[in-house]
Structure 1
C-alpha cells in the first residue's frame, strides 16, 4: 500500500480520490489487469493529474490517492515535491499528454489493456453496433466508428503518441493493435464508461463468432428508435453502479 502522501495542492484531493477510484473500476471490470494501465485528468493548460508508478506498485486494483500525482505536459512535477518518494510518471505519459495537447474537448484520458478488445481486433473483428437497447451509449459510439492505431508499440514518446492521435482523429476511443485502447472524454467517468462499452462489444463479438454466428449491425430503423436517456442515467447512475461494484 502506498504511504507517501503527495503535496496538498489546493483543491486537488477530491480529484485524486476520484481518479484512484476510477483506476480501481477499470481493474474490477477486467480492463486493466496486473500492473498496466493509467488514467489522467487535465487540471489546467499545462498540468494534469495522472496515476504514477510508486515505490510499492501493486497495480490498478490497489490504486490509492497517493498514487495520483500532479505533473506537467513534459512529465515534470506540477508543484515542488510532487514526485518525491520514488514516484514517476508512467512510461506512456505521452499517450495522455498528446491527446490533451491536441484535443481541447478532452479533459480525461484512460489507457487500458482489455484482453477481449485486443483479441477481437487481432481476429479482424471491428467494434460495430451489433446491439441495441442492451447498451445504447455503446451502440451509438460504435455506429460512428472506432478507429485502430495499427502499431503494437509502447507509446513512450511524442512521435508515437502523435501517430496514435492521428489515427484517433476526433473519435472518443481508439484501439491500439496488440496493446489495448485509449479512451478520451470531458470527464474521467465518461472516459471509463466508454472503455467499458467497447470492451463489452468486443466480448460479445467474440462470443457470437465463436458460437458460429455472424455479426450484423443494428438496423437503421432500430437505431432511430433508441432514445437518449441523458447524462443523469447514462453517466451518473452508471458511475454509481461501477463504484458500488468495487470490493
Structure 2
C-alpha cells in the first residue's frame, strides 16, 4: 500500500509514459524524481513487474530518503532504487531552484552529441521555449559513465552549473526544473532540436542560429500555454497511443 502523495506519484508515472511515448526513454532505462522535502523524494523505482518506462504504474513511484533508504515503512518492499539515484540527489541538493529531475537516454540527443552537433537555437517560433533554452546554452558532461556515486554526480552537477538541461556524452541527458512537467517538456524540446539538426545536416544543409533580431521578437507566451497547455497535449497524446493499441 502506498503511503500518501498519490497525486504526485500519478504525475511522475504519467511523465515516465510521456518520455517513452516521445521516444526519449522507450526501453527500461531512465527515471524521474520529485523533491518532497529536504530529506526525501519520490522517484521511479524498478518493481516486481518491471516492463519499462512506457508501462510505468503509480506503484512504481516510491518515497525514499536522499540516502536511498525508504522514507516510510514498506516503500521499498519489492522495489529497488535507481542505480543513478546520486544523479538526482546531487542536483536537488545543489539547486534550490529545482524540485524535479528527469534522466533519460534519448537516442537522437546521444547521436547528435557524438557527431559533434551542439544544441543551438536553430529554430524560432517553431518551439519558442526550446529556442530560448538552446540560446541559453546546453552544456555537456563529457564522461560516458553511469552516474552511480556522489563523486561522479558532483562532476555532473559542476558541468551542469545553473543550466536547466545537460547532455551526458554517450549516455543521455539530465533535465532539471521546478516542476515535473517543465523538466519533461525541456527534454522534449532538446530532443526535437537534436533531431532537426541531424536531419538538416543529413540533407546537406547548414545549421544557422536564428538572428538576434528574430530572437528578440519571440514572446514569452506564459506558463499557461508553454507548460499547462503543452502538458495537456502530452497527456492526450499518450492516452491516444494507449487507445489505439487497445
Runs of 5+ consecutive residues of structure 2 not aligned to the other structure? none
Q: TM-score, normalised by structure 1?
A: 0.96
Residue 130 of structure 2 is matched in structure 1 by 138
| Correspondent of 1:96 among 88, 100, 103 | 88
1:134 counterpart SS class: helix
Task: Give the 5 Å matches for 1:22-101.
Answer: 22-84=15-77, 86-101=78-93
Q: Indicate the RMSD between aligned Cα atoms, in angstroms.
A: 0.6
- Which residue is 2:178 aligned to? 186
Measured in 2, the distance between the counterparts of 1:171 and 1:195 equals 13
Distance in 2, Cα, partners of 1:57 & 1:161: 25
Q: Following the alignment from structure 2 to structure 1, what is the Cα–Cα distance between the partners of residues 96 and 73?
A: 27
Q: Distance in 1 between matches of 2:16 and 2:76?
A: 19
- State how 1:90-129 maps to structure 2 within 5 Å: 90-129=82-121
- CA shift for structure 1 position 57: 0.6
CA–CA distance in structure 2, aligned partners of residues 132 and 105 of structure 1: 26
Task: Report the alpha carbon displacement of residue 56 of structure 1 after superposing the two structures with TM.
Answer: 1.3
CA distance in 1, matches of 2:124, 2:54: 31
Q: Which of 153, 157, 168 is the aligned partner of 1:161?
A: 153
Deviations 1:87-141 (A, max 9, x none): 0100000000000011011000000010000000000000000000000000000
Aligned to 1:242: 234
Are residues 1:210 and 2:202 paired?
yes
Q: Distance in 2 between matches of 1:22 and 1:30?
A: 13
Q: Note the C-alpha offset of 1:76.
A: 0.4
2:223 corresponds, among 224, 231, 236, to 231
In structure 2, C-alpha distance between the alignment counterparts of 1:143 and 1:66, rounded to whole Å: 38
- Rounded to whole Å, the distance in 2 between the matches of 1:173 and 1:198 is 8
Q: Hey, what's the Cα distance between the residues in 2 that align with 1:143 and 1:201? A: 12
Poorly superposed stretches of 4+, deviation over 4 Å: none
- Quick check: 1:148 aligned with 2:134? no
Specify the SS of the correspondent of 1:81: coil
Aligned counterpart for 1:174 among listed residues 166, 187, 190:
166
Q: For 2:163 and 2:62, how far apart are their aligned partners in 1?
A: 27
Higher helix residue share: 2
5+ long unaligned stretches in structure 1: none
Deviation at residue 24 of structure 1 after TM alignment: 0.2
CA distance in 1, matches of 2:118, 2:205: 15
CA drift at 1:187: 0.1
Q: In structure 2, how many angstroms separate the alpha carbons of the residues matched to 1:202 and 1:35? A: 22
